[in-house]
Structure 1
Amino acid sequence: MGGSVARRQEGPVSEQPFLRYVALGDSQTEGVGDGGEFTGLRGFADRFAHRLAEHHPSLSYANLAVRGRRTHQIRQEQLAPALALEPDVATVVAGVNDLLRPGFDPEQVAEQVASMWVELRDQGARVLTMTFPDLSLPAPMGPAVLDRVRALNACLRRAARREGVLWAEMEGHQVVGDQRLWCADRLHASGEGHERMAAALAQVLGLPGSDDAWTRPLPGPAPVAPAGWQAVAAEARWAAHFVGPWLVRRVRGRSSGDGRRAKRPFLMPVR
Structure 2
Amino acid sequence: MFRGEGRPAVHGYDSWVAIGDSFTEGMGDMAPDGSCVGWADRLAELMAVQRPGFQYANLAVRGKMLAEIIAEQVPLAEEAAPDLVSLCGGGNDIITPGTDPDDVAADFDAAVARLRAAGSEVVLFTGPDPKVQPLLRRVRGKVGIYNGHLHAIAERNGARLVDLWSMDALHDKRAWCEDRLHFSSDGHRRIALRTAEVLGVPVVDDWREPLPPEDPKPWLRLRQDDLTWTTTHLLPWVARQLRGESLGDGLTPKRPQLTPYAVDRTHHHVF
Shorter chain as denominator, the TM-score bin is: 0.7 to 0.9
Q: Note if contact 2:16-2:83 (Cα within 8 Å) is conserved in structure 1.
A: yes
Secondary structure, counterpart of 1:35 in structure 2: coil
Report the CA distance between 1:209 and its aligned residue. Answer: 4.1
- The CA deviation string for residues 70-103 of structure 1, in whole angstroms up to 9 with x for no partner, is 1111001111112222211110011210111011
Q: CA deviation at 1:143?
A: 3.9
| Structure 2 gaps, min length 5 | 1-9, 263-271
Aligned residues: 253
Is 1:205 matched up with 2:199?
yes
Deviation sequence 1:180-227 (CA, Å, 0-9, x none): 22110111111111111111111111123478x213312x22353x34
Quote the offset at 1:142 in angstroms.
4.9
Structure 1 residues 171 and 59: CA distance shift in structure 2, 3 A: same
What's the secondary structure of 2:207's corresponding residue? helix
Identity of aligned residues (%): 36
Aligned residue in 2 for 1:221: 213
Q: Secondary structure at the match of 1:103?
A: coil
Where does 1:152-163 land on structure 2 (aligned, <5 Å)? 152-163=146-157
- What amino acid is the match of 1:214? W
Does 2:181 correspond to 1:187? yes
Looking at structure 2, the residues matched to 28 and 193 of structure 1 have their Cα atoms a distance apart, in angstroms, of 11
Is 1:30 aligned to 2:25, yes or no?
Answer: yes
RMSD of equivalent CA atoms: 2.1
Equivalent residue of 2:28, what SS? Answer: coil
Corresponding residue for residue 260 of structure 1? 251
More moved, 17-26 vs 34-43: 34-43
Q: Secondary structure at the match of 2:165?
A: coil
Which residue of structure 2 aligns with residue 236 of structure 1? 227
Deviation of 1:54 after TM superposition, in Å, equals 3.1
2:188 and 2:11 mapped to 1: Cα distance? 27
Q: Take 2:48 and 2:90, find their aligned partners in 1: how far apart are those partners? A: 28
- Residue of structure 1 equivalent to 2:6: none
Structure 2 length as normaliser, TM-score? 0.86
Q: Is 1:269 aligned with 2:264?
A: no
SS in 2 for 1:217: coil
Alignment correspondent of 2:172:
178
Report the AA paired with residue 168 of structure 2: Q
Checking the alignment, whether the CA contact within 8 Å between 1:62 and 1:268 is kept in structure 2 is yes
* Larger displacement relative to structure 2 (202-211 or 255-264): 202-211
Distance across 1 between alignment mates of 2:39 and 2:62: 14
8 Å Cα contact 2:20-2:89 kept in structure 1: yes
CA shift in 2, pair 1:179/1:223, >3 Å: farther
Q: TM-score, normalised by structure 1?
A: 0.86
Structure 1 residue 179 displacement after superposition: 2.7
Q: Within 2, Cα distance between the matches of 1:31 and 1:262?
A: 11
Deviation at 1:230, TM superposition (A): 2.5
Q: CA separation of 1:249/1:36 partners in 2, compared to 1, >3 Å: closer, same or farther?
A: farther
Structure 1 pair 16–36 and aligned structure 2 pair: CA distance change class (3 A): closer
8 Å Cα contact 1:160-1:166 kept in structure 2: yes
3-state DSSP of counterpart to 2:150: helix
Matched with 1:11 is none
Letter in 2 for 1:112: D
Q: Point out where structure 1 has 5 or more consecutive residues left out of the alignment.
A: 1-14
Residue in 1 aligned with 2:79?
A: 84
The reply on whether 1:132 has 2:127 as its aligned counterpart is yes
* Counterpart in the other structure of 1:56: 51
